[in-house]
Structure 1
C-alpha cells in the first residue's frame, strides 16, 4: 500500500516512515501543501496522512477539501489540535479519522487498517458496485434503490424517502462515520431543508421502524460527538 504523509516535523516524519516501511508500506514523505499535491499526482497513493498545520500557502484542511473534490482518497488527519470542535471540523471537511499528537505508531497502524477496511471509495457519482446495481445486502436487510424498498427478514419496512436515503447512504459504507452535515449534504442533497439536529429525529424514526430493539440499535449506530455509522459487523 502506498501512503503520502504530509508532516513538517522532520524527525517525526522520518520515524514514521521508518516504522511503516518496516511493516511493508511504501511511504512518500512531504512537508508542504504544494509538495503534497505534486506527490499525490505522481504517486497515486492509497491513503493520505496529513498534518493540520503546514508551512507555506496551504493547510491540511485545504488538502482535505481538495481531496474531496479531486482525488477521493481515504485521509487521516494528524495534529496537535485536540478539542472536539477541531475533530468535528476535520471530519466534516472529509477526513476519515483524526489522531492527536503525541500518538503511538501501533495505534496509528491499527487506525490505518480500520480506515482502509471501511473506506470503499467509489468512482465519483457511484456509491459502490452494489449500489450501482441498485441493491445493497447487509445481513438480513435488503435495500433496493430501484424500487425504494427495504426489507428485514423478508418483511417489508415502510420508510419515508428521507429515511430511505439516510439508510442507503450509511449502508453503502459500513463502518464509515458520517457527521450530521455530511448526511444532509451527501444523502439528502440540496433539496433538503432543515437543521443538523433534525437529523437526530430522522435517525430516531428510522431506528423505530428498522431496528428489532430501537433503544439498542443493531444497524445504525451513534458515534458520540461526531455522528452516525452503519454497523460494519452486520
Structure 2
C-alpha cells in the first residue's frame, strides 16, 4: 500500500473526525500512501491547531462535537483561502452538499466510503491545488486547465475559454471531483441555485458549448465525457 509513499512524504493531512474507528482506518491508509495524518476529534480544536500548524489538506467531518464542520469550513476559507478542504458526511441531502460547496469545500465524500476512495480524492485535490498555485511541475506546465474563481474564468494553457457563469459553475463542479459521474439532475442543481425548472436538454446544451470552447484550444482532447444513460464526468488525461 506504500509503493508511491515517498512522493507525499511532506504532506500532512489533518483528519477531523469524532468516530475513532473511521479516523483510525483513514489514517492507516493515508500513512500507507506516504502521507502524515494528524487526527483531531473535537471541532473546537481545529482553528487553534491550524494557527500553529499548516497541513497540506483538511479532511473535515460535517457532524462534530463543538464547532460543526460547515462552520469550520467557513472559518478556514476566511482565514486560509487556499487550504484545500474535503468534507466527510453521512448527511446526503442535497441542501447540505450545496451549502458546503458554497462555503468553499473542494470536494465531498459521503459515508460509508472506501478508504481507498478517500486517498484517491485527496491526491486529486492536492494535484489540482498545486496546479492552481503554480506548483504542478511538469504535470501542470503547458497543459493545465486552471479555474480563476475570482474572475470566473477558465484558462486552458493560459487561454481564456470565455465561459458564461453557468458554464464556469458546471465545469467547476465536475473538476472538483475528477472521475465522478454527475447525473443531469445533480448538475442542474449546481448550475441554478434558485432551483428553477429546466429540462435535461438544457444541461446537454451547456455541455455541448463547454466542450466546443475547450475543443477550440485542445482539439485532440476529450476531458468532459458522457456516460450513457447516467450523465457526465470530468476525466483529465493521465
Same fold by TM (over 0.5)? yes
Q: Which has the larger radius of gyration?
A: 1
State the match for 2:71 in structure 1.
62
Matched, 1:232 2:207: no
SS in 1 for 2:96: helix
Shift of 1:47: 0.8
- Superposition pairs for residues 26-65 of structure 1, below 5 Å? 26-56=36-66, 58-65=67-74
CA distance in 2, matches of 1:8, 1:207: 42
CA distance in 2, matches of 1:90, 1:67: 12
Shift of 1:81: 1.0
State the match for 1:12 in structure 2.
22
- Maintained 8 Å contact 1:4/1:28: yes
CA deviations 1:113-135 (Å, max 9, x no partner) are: 22222223756xxxx589xxxx9
State the match for 1:189 in structure 2.
none
Matched, 1:112 2:116: no
Q: What's the Cα RMSD here?
A: 4.6
CA deviations 1:142-201 (Å, max 9, x no partner) are: 5446xxxx6xxxxxxxxxx6549966x969xx93359889999xxxxxxxxxx9x8x967
- Maintained 8 Å contact 2:40/2:46: yes
Where structure 2 has 5 or more consecutive residues not aligned to the other structure, the ranges are 1-10, 146-155, 179-186
CA deviations 1:63-109 (Å, max 9, x no partner) are: 21122222221111112112333223322322222122222222222
Q: How many residues align?
A: 194
1:68 and 1:180, CA in 2 relative to 1: closer, same or farther beyond 3 A? farther
1:144 and 1:103, CA in 2 relative to 1: closer, same or farther beyond 3 A? closer
Where structure 1 has 5 or more consecutive residues not aligned to the other structure, the ranges are 151-160, 185-194
TM-score normalised by length of structure 1? 0.60
- Maintained 8 Å contact 1:80/1:102: yes
